[in-house]
Each structure stands twice: as C-alpha cells, then as structure tokens.
C-alpha cells in the first residue's frame, strides 16, 4: 500500500486543528496516560477514603518499625516481610522503652491471669488418641473463676476447660498448659490428636478461650462443634490471643494453687483426680516448702501463638521484680514454666504473611479478602476499629500489636523460660542447667500457617542478644540464663491442629539448612555456650512429630 505524502500532511494539519479547538494547544500532553506499575506511588491515589486508610497504615508501620511493604519485585516484598521490626534490629533505646511499657501494662492487669477458685471438676470420659485407641488417662471437665482485682475477688462468670490426668505414675508427670487451635471452641478430639499417648505421662490443662464453648464433639473437619451440643457454653469476651493467654495462665494457675494449698477450697482437686501424686516436682522452686511441678507451655496453630504470648506475660511479671522473683511467701506471679512447645503457630502481625493481613486490617479492606475467615481476624479487626476511626493514637494501637506478636515480645519470652530446679536469682553463668527450652514443630506443606512463620520466629529468638534483654530489666543479664532452641520441619506435613502425621519424617529441606540461624539446634545462652554434645540430634531425625515431642520432653524438659 502507498501513502500520499501530500494527503498525509493535510491530515496532520487537520488533526492539529481539532486538538487546538479542544483546548490542547500546540503541545500535546500524555498526562492522562496511566503510569507503568513500577512508577506508581501513594501520591497517585485520588480517592480520599483510600488516601486516609493508606495514611493510617503508614502511621502504624512507622510506629511498629516494620516499614511499609513497598516493593517493586516479589523478592523485595519477601525480604521486607521477613525483616523484623527495627526495635529488635537496632539495639537503640526504643526496645527497652517498648518492653517497659508492656511490663507496666501486664503488671497492672496480672490478676486477669490468676485463679480465684475452682468451682467443680467432673470426670467425663476415658482418654484416647487420634485413632481412637485407649490411653491410660481420664478426661475431666473443670470449671473455675479468675480474679477481678489484685485483692483476689472472684469474677461472676464461670469458665471451663478440660483436664487430663494419667491413671498411674508417682511424681513423673509434667504439667502442660495447652492452647487449642482454631476459634470455634475446644474439643477433646483436638487435644487427643496432638498429645496422643503422651496423655498417659502428662497432666494437661486446656481451657476454652473466652466466648468459646467446650464441645461434646467436633465435625469431621475438627473446626466447629457438631449438632450434639456443648459440654460447656462459652463465656467472657473474645480479644484474640491476649485474653486467650489470660485463660491459659489462669486455668493453669488454678491447678498450681490447688497443688500448693494456697486456695484448694471450695473444691479439693487432688482428692477428685489424684493429679497431685502424678506431678514431677521442679525442686528448688521459689517456694521450697511447696515445690512447683515441672511445667510446659504448649499450643497448636492459633494456640501456639497464645502459648508464646502467655510466656511473654510471664517474662513481664518476672521482669517487674527487677530480675528477681521477689514473691515472698505468696504465689503471686501466676506460673513458672521451664519449657514451651509451638506446633505450627503463627508469629503475629508485625512480620511474615500476617503483616499483609494486618495491613489490610488497618486499611479497613480485609473484609474484601478471604483472609477475614482466618481464626481470630474478625475479632482482631474489631479491636482496631477505634484506631481506624481516629479515636485512639497510634501508640495505643501499637501496644495492642506488640502484646500479640512473638517477635516483639521475644525478650520477655526468653526471660520467662528457665529450668527452675537449677535457677537462682543470679544463676551460675558457666552452667547450662538454668536455661529454659523451646521446641518448634511445623510441616513444610502447611497451607494454613506457612512454615516461614516458624522460621522467622526461630531466627528472631536465636538472635536476641544480651544487650536487648538486659537493657529493659533490672538485675542485668545474670537474671536471664538464655534458651535452648530446637526446631523440626516435617516434610510433606500439613497443619498441626488436626492430628499427628504418622507417616511424616523429620528432615530439614535444603532451603532451611542454608540459613544458619535456622539450624536444627541453637543455643541462645548469654554466655555464648555451644550446643554441641549437649543435645542428642539423632533422636529428632526421621521420626514422627509425636516421637520428636516425646524425645524432646524426655531429654530437654527435665529438671
């Protein structure tokens, strides 16, 4: 086809004239052509509502020291999501101030995690494992009340939970405070699936979280109560993870207080269940006249986060005593734990995939995503409604995040877990024995809570330094003996709050071995000890989760 140059020239002139009549003048602009995606910024937003929501997120991200998730490539975004808050990475005065605020806050509300009375304990059924095989233990429904104030006044509502007591054993059982997964109530099926045969050798305390029922049974997906009704209806107000931790510590505290004789009335728990004769004493405890039992904080899925939030609370309570116990003859701090277990638990809002959820929540757009259906997020959104509306400051909202985040409370978690048999106010810095133990378990095929959550939590916990711990509490580093970390990734395994995966083997994919801070075993002792020769690595290889947990309890969580 041939072009007539004269005709083309005439058409160009006509086109220019038309543009001039439309106010375009002599120079034609391309300002209405959209920018490429990699050139877009928040300045290009024109919707006032979107601008306001973006400003809220910018403010919150700055307050938390986590950045704004701005990235031009997926690799950059993954790096940002995997980078902890600057509170933990800069060693500035910000971390001590943050921890001091949280310690003060927890100290003011410590009564919420303390027991006022045990109402009743009723034997319910014989224990079994995830396959229905009988286990030598009994399951009880326990009802109790927490305190409303520092004077020990009992609240009006009666809370409920399950108590599992082995049929036999003479002072050989640990006392386990267990947080369940999901947000639709507590079922014994959940507990049986995750603890299996270990119910015959551990006394297990498992509360229903606030507003959630204790179910007679669960549906096939193990996520909701079935049509058979509730063993106990839900009470209390749900404030995800934080007041869940209160119930976990509070029910445990009821068992401890009955054990030490501080408030056995009106119900004699020991006479009803025989649990006191099963518990292994953790000698050398803060109350030598009544040695406390060897205790473990544990949880699966959402309950894994709750367990570590509870550990942070206990670290805060101990920190309030300037690094010493300072309890006198009164058992007042609530709990003392030597060990903790996190089974596929999320990290919290400040890091990892959950940071994306939290951004959508703060922007007020999470309802438009499938994420709103994840356990706890609907209620967590309600908790930040006043911040989104501008009714509370970013500092107030920030602390709501901090108290629900494993990475930001990691120094307090470090301070909570200790071997109380060997611990003194100033432990021997050349000894490994005062240190607590923390075990992470996760499946690499988990589509509910990504395995990277465990990797991030582990990396942060392994990276906490003496400076970061000692700067926010009196008593210095000598009051914090460090922590032994163990973590196992199970190849081909899904989520942990449904059952043990008997066919899964405990191996480390190459992608995780490559990260030194995510090694199988780590030692965070402030004195700089190595783990070589101290732990038996072979007992954690090519084994099912139940075997790993059993071996770890035997080798690590022992006085």
Write the pLDDT tens digit of every residue in 168-195: 877 889 999 999 988 778 989 888 888 9
pTM, two decimal places: 0.82
> Where do the domains of the chain lie?
48-81+352-403, 96-348+404-555
For residues 306-323, give the mean pLDDT: 78
pLDDT at 268: 83
**Tokens in use for 212?**
């959630």
Its CATH class, for the domain covering 96-348+404-555, is alpha beta
Q: Give the pairing type, strands 436-443 and 339-343.
A: parallel
Q: In this structure, are residues 88 and 460 in contact, taking their beta carbons and an 8 Å threshold?
A: yes
Pairing, β 159-166 against β 202-207: antiparallel
Torsion of CA 43, 394, 237, 453, to 10 degrees: 70
Q: What is the pLDDT of residue 157?
A: 93
Count of CA atoms in the C-beta half-sphere (13 A) of 192: 21
Contact residues for 341 (Cβ-Cβ < 8 A; gap 6+): 296, 297, 298, 299, 304, 307, 438, 439, 441, 549, 552
Q: Identify the pLDDT of residue 82.
A: 79
Select, from the ranges 23-27, 373-377, 425-429, the one with the highest average predicted confidence (pLDDT): 373-377
Please count the CA atoms within 13 angstroms of the CA of 252 that sit on its side-chain side.
32
Look at 233-242, 368-377, 449-458 and tell me which has the smallest mean pLDDT.
368-377
Q: Is it the case that residue 234 has pLDDT exceeding 80?
A: yes
pLDDT given for residue 533 in this prediction: 33
Q: Which residue has the tokens 């919290």?
A: 348
Does the pLDDT at position 466 exceed 60? no
pLDDT in tens, 287-314: 444 467 889 999 998 899 999 999 988 8
378-398 pLDDT, tens digit per residue, is 777 777 888 888 888 989 999
Percent of the residues in the chain that have a pLDDT greater than 70, as a whole number: 66
Q: Give per-residue burial for 467-486: e unless 16+ CB within 10 Å, then b.
A: ebbbbbbebebbbbbbbbbb
Cα–Cα dist 511/265, whole Å? 54
Percentage of the chain modeled with pLDDT above 90: 19
d(CA 45, CA 49): 10
Listed residue (437, 395, 408, 432) closest to 350, CA to CA: 408
Q: Where is pLDDT greater, at 25 or 323?
A: 25
Strands (E), 211-361: 214-215, 230-232, 295-300, 339-343
**CA-CA distances (angstroms) from residue 381 to 131, 240, 376, 397?**
37, 10, 9, 12
Quick: pLDDT tens for 19-42.
344 444 445 555 556 656 556 565
Q: Residues 6 or more apart from 492 whose CB is under 8 A from it? A: 443, 444, 445, 501, 503, 504
What single-letter DSSP state applies at residue 44?
Answer: G
Q: What is the pLDDT of residue 349?
A: 87
């Amino acid at each position: 086809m041939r072009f007539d140059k004269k005709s083309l020239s005439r058409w160009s002139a006509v086109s220019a004239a038309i543009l001039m009549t439309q106010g375009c003048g002599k120079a034609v602009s391309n300002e209405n052509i959209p920018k490429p995606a990699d050139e877009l910024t928040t300045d290009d937003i024109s919707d006032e509502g979107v601008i306001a929501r973006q400003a809220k997120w910018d403010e919150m991200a700055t307050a938390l020291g986590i950045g704004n998730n701005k990235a031009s490539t997926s690799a950059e975004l993954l790096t940002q999501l995997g980078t902890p808050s600057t509170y933990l990475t800069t060693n500035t005065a910000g971390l001590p101030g943050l921890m001091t605020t949280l310690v003060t806050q927890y100290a003011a509300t410590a009564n919420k995690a303390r027991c006022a009375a045990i109402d009743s304990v009723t034997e319910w059924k014989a224990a079994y494992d995830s396959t229905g095989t009988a286990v030598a233990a009994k399951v009880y429904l326990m009802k109790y009340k927490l305190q409303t104030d520092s004077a020990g006044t009992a609240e009006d509502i009666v809370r409920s939970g399950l108590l599992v007591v082995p049929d036999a054993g003479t002072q050989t059982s640990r006392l386990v405070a267990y947080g369940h997964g999901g947000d639709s109530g507590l079922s014994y099926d959940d507990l049986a699936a995750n603890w299996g045969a270990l119910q015959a050798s551990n006394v297990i305390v498992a509360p229903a979280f606030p507003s959630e029922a204790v179910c007679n049974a669960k549906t096939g997906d193990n996520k909701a109560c079935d049509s058979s009704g509730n063993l106990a209806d839900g009470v209390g107000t749900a404030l995800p993870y934080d007041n869940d931790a209160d119930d976990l510590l509070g029910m445990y505290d009821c068992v401890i207080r009955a054990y030490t004789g501080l408030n056995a009335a009106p119900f004699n728990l020991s006479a009803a269940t025989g649990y006191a004769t099963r518990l292994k004493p953790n000698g050398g405890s803060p109350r030598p006249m009544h040695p406390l039992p060897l205790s473990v904080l544990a949880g699966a899925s959402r309950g894994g986060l709750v367990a570590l939030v509870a550990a942070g609370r206990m670290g805060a309570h101990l920190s309030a005593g300037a690094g010493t116990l300072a309890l006198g003859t009164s058992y007042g701090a609530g709990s003392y734990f030597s060990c903790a277990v996190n089974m596929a638990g999320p990290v919290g809002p400040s890091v990892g995939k959950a940071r994306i959820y939290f951004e959508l929540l703060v922007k007020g757009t999470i309802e438009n995503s499938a994420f709103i259906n994840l356990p706890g997020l609907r209620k967590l959104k309600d908790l930040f409604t006043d911040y989104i509306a501008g009714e509370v400051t970013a500092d107030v909202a920030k602390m709501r995040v901090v108290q629900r985040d494993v990475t930001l409370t990691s120094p307090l978690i470090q301070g909570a877990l200790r071997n109380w048999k060997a611990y003194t106010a100033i432990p021997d810095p050349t000894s490994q024995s005062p240190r607590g133990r923390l075990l992470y378990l996760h499946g690499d095929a988990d589509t509910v809570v990504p395995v990277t959550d465990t990797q991030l939590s582990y990396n942060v916990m392994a990276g906490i330094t003496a400076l970061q711990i000692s700067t926010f509490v009196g008593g210095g580093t000598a009051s914090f003996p460090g922590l032994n970390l163990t973590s196992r990734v199970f190849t081909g395994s899904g989520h942990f709050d449904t059952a043990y995966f008997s066919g899964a083997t405990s191996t480390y994919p190459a992608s995780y071995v490559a990260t030194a801070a995510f090694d199988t075993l780590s030692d965070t002792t402030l004195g700089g000890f190595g783990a070589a020769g101290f732990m038996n690595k072979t007992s954690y290889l090519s084994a099912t989760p139940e075997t790993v947990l059993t071996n770890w309890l035997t080798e690590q969580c022992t006085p």
